[in-house]
């Protein structure tokens, strides 16, 4: 049974559909990457999965259980974590407090998970008493991912984790995504840096106009000349 299985998802804001039938499935230990041109509905799909957007048609299953249109806090309980693209930290809270908020629903986990997150992201341990608003962009992204990991999710949704970061940090973030995945967390991320993202992807989904254009393994999509021509800039 796939970890996440989205079938024929339609949805959008105020009656206007942005998603017109998206299919997506990833297994428990996989990294899924969504790429595509601007306005294709990549981030919208992520929001639909996390209950921030109404699904008008189709279904989304988490380990076989329908979860579409559940409120976010229920999804967190069910093992899903979400890292938005922007405003993804609490700026006036310290790093440690940010992480604690991630485990709000599982307060017993705090100590153990804090240690694990500090292991994933060593720089955060040094800055744990600093307000997250004072950190650099890359470190903030770590706080954001760390916060989502605190609830021990089985599936982590990342919305453009490398947006606005320098290439140096970008590689670091991709490395950390792989590291988190190797610890047994399924990942579904939206990325602008399609080539790099597909290189670490088990599954790749190329969206256009709210529908799947290509769906395959990351490596196969990278190798496909048509994908390369239309979506990866040649």
Which CB, 47 or 127, lies closer to other proteins? 47
Q: Judge residue 124's burial from the number of C-beta atoms within 10 Å of its C-beta, 0-12 exposed, 13-18 middle, 19 or more buried.
A: buried
Told to check if 199 binds other proteins by CB under 8 A, we report no
88 counts as binding other proteins under rule CB under 8 A: yes
Select the span of 75-83, 172-180, 185-193, 218-226 touching other proteins (CB under 8 A).
Answer: 75-83
- 91 lies in the binding site for other proteins (CB under 8 A): yes
Out of 37, 66, 72, 137, the only residue in the binding site for other proteins (CB under 8 A) is 72
Strand partners, 80: 155
Closest separation in Å from C-beta 203 to other proteins: 24
Q: How far apart are CA 201 and CA 194, in angstroms?
A: 10
Under rule CB under 8 A, residue 163 binds other proteins:
no
Tokens representing residue 213 in the block: 């254009």
Helix %, strand %, coil % for the chain, to 5? 40, 25, 35
Read off φ and ψ for residue 50, nearest 5 degrees.
Answer: -90, 15
Q: Are 157 and 82 in contact (CB under 8 A)?
A: yes
Taking alpha carbons only, the member of 10, 30, 6, 77 closest to residue 201 is: 30
Nearer of residues 7 and 106 to other proteins, judged by Cβ: 106
Nearest distance in Å: CB 98, other proteins: 8
Does 87 help bind other proteins (rule: CB under 8 A)?
A: yes
By beta-carbon proximity to other proteins, the closer residue of 158 and 221 is 158
Q: Would the CA dihedral through 202, 216, 16, 232 be positive or negative? A: positive
Task: Please identify which residue in 30, 32, 50, 127 interacts with other proteins, judged by CB under 8 A.
Answer: 50
Binding positions for other proteins, 94-123, rule CB under 8 A: 97-98, 100-102, 104-105, 107
Site string for other proteins, 122-161 (x = CB under 8 A): -------------------------x---x----------
Contact by Cβ (8 Å): 197, 205: no
SS3 state at 152: coil
- Pick the closest to residue 57 from 216, 215, 213, 211 (CA basis): 211
Cα–Cα distance, 52 to 70 (Å, whole number)? 9
Least Å from the CB of residue 71 to other proteins: 8
Out of 93, 163, 200, 220, the only residue in the binding site for other proteins (CB under 8 A) is: 93
Residues that bind other proteins (CB under 8 A): 50, 52, 72-73, 76-77, 82, 84, 87-93, 97-98, 100-102, 104-105, 107, 147, 151
């Amino acid at each position: 049974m796939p970890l996440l299985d989205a079938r024929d998802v339609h949805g959008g804001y105020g009656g206007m559909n942005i998603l017109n039938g998206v299919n997506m499935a990833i297994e428990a230990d996989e990294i899924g990457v969504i790429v595509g041109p601007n306005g294709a509905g990549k981030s919208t799909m992520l929001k639909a999965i996390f209950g921030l957007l109404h699904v008008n048609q189709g279904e989304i299953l988490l380990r076989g259980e329908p979860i579409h249109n559940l409120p976010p806090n229920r999804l967190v309980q069910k093992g899903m974590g979400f890292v938005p693209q922007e405003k993804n930290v609490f700026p006036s809270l310290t790093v440690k407090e940010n992480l604690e908020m991630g485990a709000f629903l599982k307060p017993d986990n705090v100590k153990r998970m804090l240690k694990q997150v500090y292991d994933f992201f060593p720089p955060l341990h040094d800055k744990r008493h600093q307000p997250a608003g004072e950190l650099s962009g890359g470190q903030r992204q770590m706080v954001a991912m760390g916060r989502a990991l605190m609830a021990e999710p089985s599936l982590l949704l990342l919305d453009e984790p490398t947006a606005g970061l320098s290439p140096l940090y970008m590689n670091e973030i991709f490395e950390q995504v792989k590291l988190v995945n190797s610890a047994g967390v399924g990942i579904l991320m939206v990325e602008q840096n399609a080539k790099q993202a597909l290189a670490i992807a088990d599954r790749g989904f190329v969206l256009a106009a709210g529908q799947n254009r290509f769906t395959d393994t990351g490596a196969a999509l990278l190798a496909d000349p048509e994908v390369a021509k239309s979506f990866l800039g040649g």
